[in-house]
Amino acid sequence: MLIRVRRPGDIDPREITDEGLYLRRREFLRSAALAGGAAAFAAAGAPTASRAARLAPGDLAALTGLVPSPFSTDESPNSFEDVTSYNNFYEFGTDKEDPARHAHTLVTDPWSVSIRGEVERPGEIALEDLLKPHALEERVYRLRCVEAWSMVIPWVGIPLGDILRRFEPTSHAKYVAFRTLYKPSQMRGQRRRVLDWPYREGLRIDEAMNPLTILAVGLYGRVLPSQNGAPLRLIVPWKYGFKSIKSIVSIELTRRRPATSWNVSAPREYGFYANVNPEVDHPRWSQKRERRIGEFRRRPTLPFNGYAESVADLYAGMNLRKNF
């Protein structure tokens, strides 16, 4: 049994309402892993001492010359502290505070990304070279987690489509598959089989090319904190947060729909499309409302997380209950 340890005064009221949901998600994973015969959970040791140090914006290199975007929301962003201390990044543990506590072990420099599959110019490219030709944009987006909480985050990034075009996708490129770094020596959560590592995600090619989809390299005008998926992560703001895969090392353009981690672990709960949809409940909870971190009352969840105008056409004629 995993025991959740808290210091006195550590309970944040904003966590209370969705903690039940979150624990249920983790419980499910535990039972799934145990049923699968993984002895990993038995090996879970005593909780390690927490690393109290809080990240401040000044700890991170500033990004300059940022271009504002018409796609940004004018809603107030969540605080830097919310964005960097309440995270899902199972490679560092399943508690919301684990990534902030443990992600400092991730080595993000040097970093390179392999771009392969259905492209005319495949290769392994250093992060600097991947970014060099592009202007960095600030994109203030809503992020809606499948666990029914949300935030507003000022990302810094580049449209994914602009990057992919440089590698010249072939006419056979129908999907894009992404993979997170696999390195248990740096990612302590990967020593336990909570998911089938490495974390994988995927998009249809038209979703990848949609101008809302970005590869983020920063937030709040600074390079990405490790807990948010440094040095390079995907952001797809109209989909549940689990699609926005962190710490990407591989991008593969494919003919077939790729396998994706959450869909493989619980296909009836986490679809490939994972478009935010208040009309389709998660089998174990409603998706009609959400709790914006920092707010007390729940607010209604919007179709496509409020981005329907830009993306609903991508799904014309599709049954969004079946393709959830």
Ligand X SMILES: Nc1nc2c(c(=O)[nH]1)N[C@H]1C(S)=C(S)[C@@H](COP(=O)(O)O)O[C@H]1N2
Mask 202-241, x = binds ligand X (CB under 6 A)? Answer: --------------------------xx-----------x
Strands 248-254 and 289-292: unpaired
Q: Count residues near ligand X (CB under 6 A).
A: 17
CA 21, 25, 26, 29: dihedral to nearest 10 degrees?
Answer: 170
143 to 162, contacts with Mo ion by CB under 5 A?
A: 145
Q: What ranges in 167-260 are assigned the alpha helix state H?
A: 205-209
Contact partner, 245, from Mo ion, ligand X, none, Cβ < 5-8 Å per class? ligand X
Query: Which helix or strand (DSSP H or E) is residue 177 part of?
Result: strand 175-180
240 to 259, contacts with ligand X by CB under 6 A?
A: 241-242, 244-247
Q: Is 241 an interacting residue with respect to Mo ion (CB under 5 A)?
A: yes
Which contacts (CB < 8 Å, 24+ apart) does range 298-302 have? 298/17, 301/144, 301/148, 301/150, 301/276, 302/276, 302/278
164 to 183, contacts with ligand X by CB under 6 A?
A: 180
DSSP 239: B
For ligand X, give the closer residue by CB, 118 or 214. Answer: 214
Q: Is 272 an interacting residue with respect to ligand X (CB under 6 A)?
A: no
Mask 128-167, x = binds ligand X (CB under 6 A)? Answer: ---------------x-x----------------------
Can you tell me the distance from the alpha carbon of 125 to that of 117, in angstroms, rounded to the nearest whole number? 14
Q: Is 242 an interacting residue with respect to Mo ion (CB under 5 A)?
A: yes
Question: Residue type for 3, please?
Answer: I
- Only segment of 10-18, 70-78, 84-92, 205-213 that touches ligand X (CB under 6 A): 84-92
- Only segment of 3-11, 43-51, 62-70, 81-89 that touches Mo ion (CB under 5 A): 81-89
Q: Is 125 an interacting residue with respect to Mo ion (CB under 5 A)?
A: no
Token couple for 166? 């440089």
CA angle 100, 83, 75 (to 5 degrees): 180
DSSP 6: -
DSSP notation for 29-65: HHHHHHHTT-GGGGG--SPPPP--PPP-GGGS-B--S
Binding residues for Mo ion, rule: CB under 5 A, are 88, 145, 241-242
Binding residues for ligand X, rule: CB under 6 A, are 87-91, 143, 145, 180, 199, 228-229, 241-242, 244-247
